[in-house]
Structure 1
Amino acid sequence: MPLNSRRPPQTVLITGASSGIGRALALAYAAPGSRLILIGRNAERLAATAQKAMDQGAEVIIGAIDVRDQAAMAAWISERDKTHPIDLAIANAGITTGLSPGELTEDPQAVRAILATNLLGVLNTIEPLIQPMSARGKGQIACIGSIAGLHGLPYAPAYCMTKSAVHAYMESIRGRLEARGLVVSLIIPGFVKTPLNDSIDALKPLEISDSKAAALIRRGLERGKAIIAFPLPLYWLARFGRLLPPRLYDRIMAGVAAQVPQTQERV
């Protein structure tokens, strides 16, 4: 069956569903006949997202789980999948951290916290589903990367590292899993207005709302696209940056004023 003719997923798993893009995605998929499995750490905000999704007619199952907890994620996701086979899993949970002007290195503990959330959290979401989805011969796995994962940014080295690693991982598993009937989609957004991005003091070209981002992501997923990137001008500009001589790129980026707060998360 062509990818663009696949039926919309009935059961959708979304991590980081308590705010930002995750919350917007939950509401974008919430409708009568849909079942949402939502994961987030903030139980109060997660419950609020769930209630709004239920008001739109969706059946909702919530899990207040830290995506960094491999054992808890594996057990909980596997149990939900046995009861309600998951059609689409979106590994969305993520945090950011960075450098203020004049700083040379990021706090080592902040770096390890962002690695645990943005990279290990993705693995903890996807790994429990690879075998059961492959056994069923269907399913879709999607992950939120970032345009920042296409080329390093001097004010957010650890964040760029995590997103670049996620890109490489999704590109690496795509061929083998799609041969088993799965669909693997990498989502590469630019600036999206969320609480996470609101904390960053920098120029945010072509920034869009979280609801518009969710609509673009859903449309791309329903078409089975391997890469869902937006906004396209910023995506291609980042791709072009890789063609520039490295030190020329460094000089250009040195002139970009940005201040990214250090995450208070710790492993």
Structure 2
Amino acid sequence: MSTALSSKPSKTPSTESAALGKPRCVLITGATGAIGGALAHAYAAPNTHLVLHGRNRQSLEELAGVCHGKGAQVSLSSASLTDTTELNTWLDTLCAEHLPDIAIANAGINTHPSDQTLEPWDDVQALLDINLKAPIAMAQRLVPAMQARGSGQLVFISSLAGWHGLPTTPSYSASKAGIKAYGEGLRGLLAPHGIGVTVVMPGYVTSPMCDAMPGPKPWEWSPERAAKAIQRGITANRARISFPFPLNFGSWWLAVLPASISQWFIKHLGFGHMGGK
């Protein structure tokens, strides 16, 4: 829930960099998406080095220009997140040259059933590779370097769909539930090493991905509003950032009620059939 306990380490990643006289380094994957782009705008400032990752190079370069204008240093990457060798080479170089203080694994995709049939297996595999396996693979390379330094923060983007699977997006819901559980477990594991872990659970945020989702979209937020909430939560080293409150509260109840009752609510609120009917 949005009232999850939070804690502040004695030395946050940003204060660690400031103490060493180095620019704070913020890595954002999926930076050309709605939330990723808004986060890049939010973090763009003097004494900040942004490492922006995205598949659309032209959009990435345009975003870099805007962030440069706000005084940030910017590095760009379009390394494959699903090619293990390419991903590891990029992250190893990054750790050697600009080890992130904050790493936001924001890249994500979605897929939907069609006419009440299962999602194509190739689509499911691609979704799990990006939404679940890639963030875990990133942690595998970043955590040892952060441990050696004694500070850092990992941010994983889950979803309110991680509370209870939706018939309109079963594989997406599964991937977001998985990364939620991984981040929650990792937070306790890494806390003794001075590394914070934050799980973000957004509701509907205006974007092409959101527009493509079937069903109603209550309490939809703008990317800018979402980015501000995420940035505040990261600064406070919150264990969980979930919004908006009414939708989060209702989604949380879906996770704790008996499954038959939760599924009755999902059906009668318009999420049980394609097209929200």
Cα distance change on mapping 1:4 and 1:209 into 2, 3 Å = farther
- The alpha-carbon deviation at position 189 of structure 1 amounts to 0.7
Q: Note the 1:81-120 alignment, pairs <5 A.
A: 81-100=95-114, 102-120=115-133
User: Per-residue CA shift, 1:120-149, capped at 9, x if unaligned?
Assistant: 121232221010001111011111100001
Alignment partner, residue 241 of structure 1: 254
- The alpha-carbon deviation at position 86 of structure 1 amounts to 1.2
Q: Note the 1:42-61 alignment, pairs <5 A.
A: 42-61=56-75
Long gaps (5+) in structure 2: 1-6, 18-23
SS of aligned partner of 2:182: helix
- Does the CA contact (< 8 Å) of 2:8 and 2:236 recur in 1? no
- The alpha-carbon deviation at position 5 of structure 1 amounts to 7.1
Structure 1 Cα separation of the partners of residues 39 and 142 of structure 2:
20
Alignment partner, residue 9 of structure 2: 3
- The alpha-carbon deviation at position 259 of structure 1 amounts to 4.4
Alignment partner, residue 158 of structure 2: 145
Structure 2 Cα separation of the partners of residues 13 and 249 of structure 1:
37
* 1:209 equivalenced with 2:222 (yes/no): yes
- The alpha-carbon deviation at position 119 of structure 1 amounts to 0.8
Alignment partner, residue 132 of structure 1: 145
Q: Note the 1:13-32 alignment, pairs <5 A.
A: 13-32=27-46
- The alpha-carbon deviation at position 4 of structure 1 amounts to 8.3
Identity of aligned residues (%): 36
Cα distance change on mapping 1:135 and 1:190 into 2, 3 Å = same
Cα distance change on mapping 1:107 and 1:28 into 2, 3 Å = same
- The alpha-carbon deviation at position 166 of structure 1 amounts to 0.3
SS of aligned partner of 1:142: strand
User: Per-residue CA shift, 1:72-113, capped at 9, x if unaligned?
Assistant: 12111221221122100000000011124x323111111111
CA RMSD in angstroms comes to 1.8
Alignment partner, residue 266 of structure 2: 253
State the one-letter code of the partner of 2:162: G
User: Per-residue CA shift, 1:150-205, capped at 9, x if unaligned?
Assistant: 11101110000100110111111111111111111111111111121122232111
Q: 1:164 aligns with which of 177, 191, 207?
A: 177
Alignment partner, residue 20 of structure 2: none
- Does the CA contact (< 8 Å) of 2:116 and 2:274 recur in 1? no
**TM (normalized to structure 2)?**
0.88
Alignment partner, residue 121 of structure 1: 134
- Does the CA contact (< 8 Å) of 1:18 and 1:42 recur in 2? yes
- Does the CA contact (< 8 Å) of 1:192 and 1:208 recur in 2? yes
Structure 2 Cα separation of the partners of residues 62 and 215 of structure 1:
23
State the one-letter code of the partner of 1:201: P
Cα distance change on mapping 1:45 and 1:98 into 2, 3 Å = same
SS of aligned partner of 1:95: coil
State the number of aligned residues: 259
Alignment partner, residue 192 of structure 1: 205
Structure 2 Cα separation of the partners of residues 141 and 173 of structure 1:
9
Alignment partner, residue 52 of structure 2: 38
Alignment partner, residue 191 of structure 2: 178
**TM (normalized to structure 1)?**
0.91
Alignment partner, residue 83 of structure 2: 69
- The alpha-carbon deviation at position 239 of structure 1 amounts to 1.1
Cα distance change on mapping 1:208 and 1:5 into 2, 3 Å = farther
Q: 1:228 aligns with which of 241, 254, 257?
A: 241
Structure 2 Cα separation of the partners of residues 225 and 143 of structure 1:
12
Bigger mean CA deviation after superposition, 196-205 or 180-189: 196-205
Structure 2 Cα separation of the partners of residues 201 and 154 of structure 1:
10
